């Protein structure tokens, strides 16, 4: 029952204040990365935000291994990732409770069951121990080992005590040597622990712990290091921790311990006075607090290890007064006071827990942002420094398709800040200076309040009330054009092309990436040429002649099978206006006959200018029937004798361009000297054309005559 009480109260603290602050960020982010990123160390948070000093990964590894099965179920079911943060914190709290339970059982053997009852109720009624036991602080990981070491000291199990001391000091918190060291020293002085057995155990234990942390942490940090050694050097030797504030020497005695122990702080000295055995137990705790007070920078969590020790003394006082309550009226009042002091602790805990629940505006802000924006929408969110330190973690970044940015020192209202769709900005009101730069470009979507102060009114119950004030504002960018969406992956729609012969389906990606043979490439150009011809027919007489010549070329081309035609047509349609060139294999825009043609030098000239010269040449010189036939047969035979590469270049061009003729000043066509020899050789081959081809040329001539007659009739 006592263990269940502790677990229930710890769960209440966890659920009431589920978010974490910057002091807990390293261990929490490390647990997230171990669970979600695995061996992908490049995605780990500590490489982007390393912190002031490096911390060990040993604790997060232990917690992550235990939490992994539950987190795997969360991932499998597709549940909210923030549930994994509850699981991780719950596992850490469970480890502390297990160590505390072992201490309680040892107290039961040494002092009896009544003392452990009071010890349990006192612990459950206090705020700070129950609040911190599930928080992933370095001190909390060290608390697990410190409680085990203290219980081993009570049992006089020196071998286990030495090993736990080594783990606590060398891996987690070096200052624990001030707390655990006096225990070992006391046993050595009283000869309960012999020197030789001590050395035989402490040397291998120290080397093993040191090598473990160096090996593991050097792997994760990417350099050879001993994390806790660097922390000790930074905080103690360099005294750099003073940068975060200093406190008086007696601060732990008049501020930290009274707040941590509550009204039980008054009973601890009574218990030490009543039972001399407690004088031995509490001595290491007193030495630790006194020596640690010399460090200027002080925080309550630094001495959390001694809270259970002081609670043992307070429990002994409550046991004494409760058991003697029937002896006198004074003792009866004292017994009632012991019960009431638990209620005072509980009331104080309720007040502090309410304050803490309102002390994480960053976590509440990002939670509200996820509620406002639909989960299937995209968002580019910037999280400022204050928000990142007061509750935001990788567990709170729920959507993988969102972009969360925590870049620091970005100028308010700058272009980079306007590239985000939403902003989480610290501000005390909507008229704050931080929001002044966004009045015209952003709108306030919502705001989150945080703890401000306490107000007292003795005419109401409860007389104390927690006051809050605005702390974080959620802004939405109204200028859609300034938002950076370049990180969103663009998915290309898949187009399925079905083969006509085999019925095999080809996607667009497969059809484009598939290698195209020379013959297939030629067929693609021919198909493209056919489509071009349909667009330019019935315009002018000269364009009609060009179209007829192109149709004559297509007559002599081999017929494609149905499957190849469908395959090539699909490629051409998907490529839209692009074709593959022979020379480079790259995609280029084809030139259609109605927009121009390719000159011999590769330059594009206007088709109207070419035919203007042709008309001029025809008016200055009359042609006989034989010359028309010769002009008609010349480009056809040149195409047949040229290579496959040159065929593709000539397809869709006019006679003058394909033959390489140049018009002189008088408008007469001439050939360049370097090409006249090659054309002469081609004309010699024309004389060898068979009778069958000559018959086809006669048909072409008749067609030309008919077109001439139709053109004159139209005029």
Looking at residue 446, which CATH number applies to its domain?
3.40.190
Whether 525 has a pLDDT exceeding 60, the answer reads no
Count of beta carbons in the 10 Å neighbourhood of residue 42: 8
Residue 248 in domain: yes
Q: Note whether 348 and 406 are same-domain residues.
A: no
**What is the rounded distance in angstroms from the CA atom of residue 242 to the CA atom of residue 235?**
8
pLDDT, average across residues 219-239: 90
Whether 150 has a pLDDT exceeding 90, the answer reads yes
Query: b/e map of 226-251 (b: 16 or more CB within 10 Å)?
Result: bbbeebbeebeeeeebeeeeeeeeeb
Residue 671 in domain: yes
Mean of the per-residue pLDDT values for the chain? 78
Which structural domain range is residue 675 located in?
A: 505-714
Q: Note whether 167 and 307 are same-domain residues.
A: yes
Q: Note whether 407 and 437 are same-domain residues.
A: yes
Q: Note whether 562 and 703 are same-domain residues.
A: yes
Residues of the chain with pLDDT > 90: what percent? 56
Predicted confidence band at 539 (pLDDT cuts at 50, 70, 90)? Answer: very low
Question: DSSP of 179-241, one letter per residue?
Answer: HHHHHHHHHHHTTSS-HHHHHHHHHHHHHHHHHHHHHHHHHHHTS---HHHHHHIIIIIS-GG
Check: pTM over 0.85? Answer yes or no: no
Task: Give the model's pLDDT for residue 238.
Answer: 81
Residue 589 in domain: yes
* Surface-to-core class of residue 266, CB atoms within 10 Å of its CB (0-12 exposed, 13-18 middle, 19+ buried): middle
pLDDT, average across residues 446-462: 89
**What is the rounded distance in angstroms from the CA atom of residue 297 to the CA atom of residue 171?**
21
C-alpha pair distances (Å), 626 with each of 87, 197, 291, 661, 670: 97, 122, 120, 20, 20
Residue position matching structure tokens 């203290």: 150
Task: Give the model's pLDDT for residue 370.
Answer: 95
For residue 318, give the nearest of 115, 456, 161 by alpha carbon: 115
Residue 4 in domain: no
Task: Give the model's pLDDT for residue 712.
Answer: 46
Task: Give the model's pLDDT for residue 328.
Answer: 84
Predicted confidence band at 340 (pLDDT cuts at 50, 70, 90)? Answer: very high
For residue 56, give the nearest of 252, 251, 219 by alpha carbon: 219
For residue 553, give the nearest of 678, 615, 646 by alpha carbon: 646
**What is the rounded distance in angstroms from the CA atom of residue 638 to the CA atom of residue 646?**
10
Predicted confidence band at 625 (pLDDT cuts at 50, 70, 90)? Answer: low
Count of beta carbons in the 10 Å neighbourhood of residue 422: 20
**What is the rounded distance in angstroms from the CA atom of residue 358 to the CA atom of residue 589?**
64
Whether 362 has a pLDDT exceeding 50, the answer reads yes
Residue position matching structure tokens 């020497």: 249
**Beta-ladder partners of 451:** 468
Whether 668 has a pLDDT exceeding 90, the answer reads no
For residue 560, give the nearest of 592, 529, 526 by alpha carbon: 526
**What is the rounded distance in angstroms from the CA atom of residue 267 to the CA atom of residue 320?**
11
Count of beta carbons in the 10 Å neighbourhood of residue 471: 24
**What is the rounded distance in angstroms from the CA atom of residue 387 to the CA atom of residue 51?**
17
Whether 488 has a pLDDT exceeding 90, the answer reads no
Q: Nearest 10 degrees: CA dihedral of 440, 446, 452, 455?
A: 120
Predicted confidence band at 538 (pLDDT cuts at 50, 70, 90)? Answer: very low
Q: Note whether 689 and 541 are same-domain residues.
A: yes
Query: Would you mind telling me the total number of residues written for the chain in this entry?
Result: 715
Residue 580 in domain: yes
Task: Give the model's pLDDT for residue 97.
Answer: 97
Q: Note whether 192 and 209 are same-domain residues.
A: yes
Whether 535 has a pLDDT exceeding 50, the answer reads no
Q: Note whether 451 and 520 are same-domain residues.
A: no
Count of beta carbons in the 10 Å neighbourhood of residue 65: 12
Whether 437 has a pLDDT exceeding 90, the answer reads no
Least confident of 152-156, 198-202, 484-488, 509-513: 509-513
The answer to whether 365 and 404 are in contact (CB under 8 A) is no
Whether 635 has a pLDDT exceeding 60, the answer reads no
End residue of a domain, out of 341, 357, 373: 357
Task: Give the model's pLDDT for residue 656.
Answer: 44
Residue 69 in domain: no
Please count the CA atoms within 13 angstroms of the CA of 694 that sit on its side-chain side. Answer: 7
C-alpha pair distances (Å), 642 with each of 635, 658, 660: 10, 11, 14
Least confident of 25-39, 133-147, 659-673: 659-673
Question: DSSP of 676-712, one letter per residue?
Answer: HHHHHHHHHHHTT--HHHHHHHHHHHHHHHHHHHHHH
pLDDT, average across residues 658-683: 47
DSSP state letter for 169: I
Whether 599 has a pLDDT exceeding 60, the answer reads no
Q: Note whether 418 and 434 are same-domain residues.
A: yes
Q: Note whether 562 and 676 are same-domain residues.
A: yes
Task: Give the model's pLDDT for residue 324.
Answer: 86
Whether 504 has a pLDDT exceeding 70, the answer reads no
**What is the rounded distance in angstroms from the CA atom of residue 35 to the CA atom of residue 637?**
74
**What is the rounded distance in angstroms from the CA atom of residue 40 to the CA atom of residue 34?**
9
Q: Say which residues have a Cβ less than 8 Å from residue 693's Cβ, sequence separation at least 6.
A: none
Q: Note whether 351 and 367 are same-domain residues.
A: no
Task: Give the model's pLDDT for residue 630.
Answer: 56
End residue of a domain, out of 357, 381, 402: 357
Phi-psi region of 706 (alpha: psi -120 to 50; beta: other; left: phi over 0): alpha
Q: In which element (H, E) is residue 506 found? A: strand 505-507
Residue 7 in domain: no
Backbone angles phi, psi at 387, to 5 degrees: -65, -40
How many domains in the chain? 3
The answer to whether 55 and 26 are in contact (CB under 8 A) is yes
**What is the rounded distance in angstroms from the CA atom of residue 187 to the CA atom of residue 185?**
5
Tens-place pLDDT, residues 258-316: 999 999 999 999 999 999 999 999 999 999 999 999 999 999 999 999 999 999 999 99
Task: Give the model's pLDDT for residue 346.
Answer: 96
Task: Give the model's pLDDT for residue 236.
Answer: 81
Radius of gyration of the chain (CA): 44
The DSSP bridge pattern shows strands 464-477 and 422-426 to be antiparallel
Q: Note whether 210 and 254 are same-domain residues.
A: yes
The answer to whether 284 and 182 are in contact (CB under 8 A) is yes
Q: In which element (H, E) is residue 469 found? A: strand 464-477
**What is the rounded distance in angstroms from the CA atom of residue 679 to the CA atom of residue 638?**
8
Q: Note whether 462 and 325 are same-domain residues.
A: no
End residue of a domain, out of 357, 378, 402: 357
């Amino acid at each position: 029952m006592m263990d269940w009480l502790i677990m229930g109260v710890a769960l209440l603290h966890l659920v009431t204040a589920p978010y974490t602050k910057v002091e807990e960020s390293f261990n929490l982010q490390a647990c997230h990365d171990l669970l979600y990123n695995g061996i992908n160390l490049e995605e780990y948070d500590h490489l982007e935000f390393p912190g002031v000093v490096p911390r060990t990964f040993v604790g997060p590894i232990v917690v992550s291994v235990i939490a992994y099965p539950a987190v795997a179920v969360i991932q499998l079911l597709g549940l909210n990732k923030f549930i994994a943060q509850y699981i991780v914190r719950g596992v850490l709290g469970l480890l502390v409770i297990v160590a505390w339970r072992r201490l309680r059982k040892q107290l039961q053997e040494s002092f009896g069951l009544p003392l452990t009852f009071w010890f349990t109720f006192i612990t459950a009624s206090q705020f700070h121990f129950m609040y911190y036991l599930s928080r992933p602080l370095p001190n909390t990981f060290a608390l697990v080992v410190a409680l085990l070491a203290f219980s081993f000291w009570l049992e006089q199990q020196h071998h286990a005590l030495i090993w736990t001391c080594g783990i606590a000091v060398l891996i987690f918190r070096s200052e624990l040597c001030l707390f655990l060291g006096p225990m070992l020293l006391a046993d050595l002085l009283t000869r309960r622990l012999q020197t030789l057995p001590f050395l035989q155990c402490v040397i291998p234990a120290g080397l093993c712990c040191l090598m473990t942390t160096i090996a593991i942490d050097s792997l994760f940090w990417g350099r050879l290091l001993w994390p806790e050694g660097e922390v000790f050097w930074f905080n103690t030797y360099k005294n750099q921790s003073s940068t975060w504030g200093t406190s008086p020497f007696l601060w732990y005695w008049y501020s930290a311990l009274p707040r941590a122990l509550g009204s039980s702080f008054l009973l601890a000295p009574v218990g030490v006075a009543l039972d001399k055995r407690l004088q031995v137990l509490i001595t290491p705790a007193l030495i630790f607090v006194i020596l640690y007070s010399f460090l200027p920078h002080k925080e309550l969590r630094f001495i959390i290890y001694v809270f259970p020790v002081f609670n043992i003394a307070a429990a002994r006082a409550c046991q004494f007064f409760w058991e003697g309550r029937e002896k006198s009226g004074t003792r009866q009042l004292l017994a009632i006071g012991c019960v009431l002091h638990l209620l005072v602790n509980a009331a104080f805990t309720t007040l502090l827990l309410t304050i803490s629940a309102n002390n994480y505006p960053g976590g509440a802000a990002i939670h509200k942002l996820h509620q406002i924006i639909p989960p299937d929408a995209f968002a580019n969110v910037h999280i400022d420094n204050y928000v990142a330190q007061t509750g935001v973690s990788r567990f709170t970044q729920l959507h993988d398709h969102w972009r969360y940015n925590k870049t620091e020192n970005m100028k308010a209202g700058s272009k980079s800040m306007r590239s985000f769709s939403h902003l989480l900005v610290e501000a005390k009101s909507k008229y704050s200076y931080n929001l002044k730069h966004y009045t015209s470009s952003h709108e306030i979507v919502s705001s989150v309040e945080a703890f401000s102060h306490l107000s007292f009114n003795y005419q109401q119950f409860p007389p104390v009330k927690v006051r809050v004030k605005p702390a974080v504002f959620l802004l939405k960018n109204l200028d859609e054009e300034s938002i950076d969406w370049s990180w969103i992956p663009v998915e290309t729609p898949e187009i399925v092309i079905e083969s006509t012969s085999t019925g095999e389906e080809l996607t667009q990606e497969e059809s484009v990436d598939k290698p195209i043979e020379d013959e297939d490439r030629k067929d693609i150009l021919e198909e493209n040429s056919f489509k071009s011809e349909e667009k330019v027919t019935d315009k002018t007489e000269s364009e009609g002649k060009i179209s007829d010549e192109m149709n004559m070329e297509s007559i002599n081309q081999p017929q494609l099978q149905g499957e190849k035609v469908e395959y090539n047509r699909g490629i051409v349609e998907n490529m839209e206006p692009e074709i593959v060139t022979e020379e480079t294999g790259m995609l280029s825009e084809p030139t259609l006959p109605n927009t121009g043609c390719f000159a011999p030098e590769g330059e594009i000239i206007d088709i109207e200018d070419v035919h203007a010269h042709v008309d001029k040449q025809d008016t200055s010189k009359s042609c006989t029937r034989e010359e028309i036939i010769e002009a008609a047969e010349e480009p056809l035979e040149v195409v047949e004798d040229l290579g496959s590469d040159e065929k593709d270049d000539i397809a869709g061009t006019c006679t003058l361009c394909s033959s390489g003729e140049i018009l002189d000043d008088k408008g007469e066509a001439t050939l360049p000297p370097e090409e006249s020899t090659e054309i002469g050789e081609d004309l010699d081959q024309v004389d060898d054309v068979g009778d069958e081809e000559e018959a086809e040329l006669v048909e072409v001539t008749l067609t030309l005559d008919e077109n001439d007659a139709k053109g004159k009739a139209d005029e």
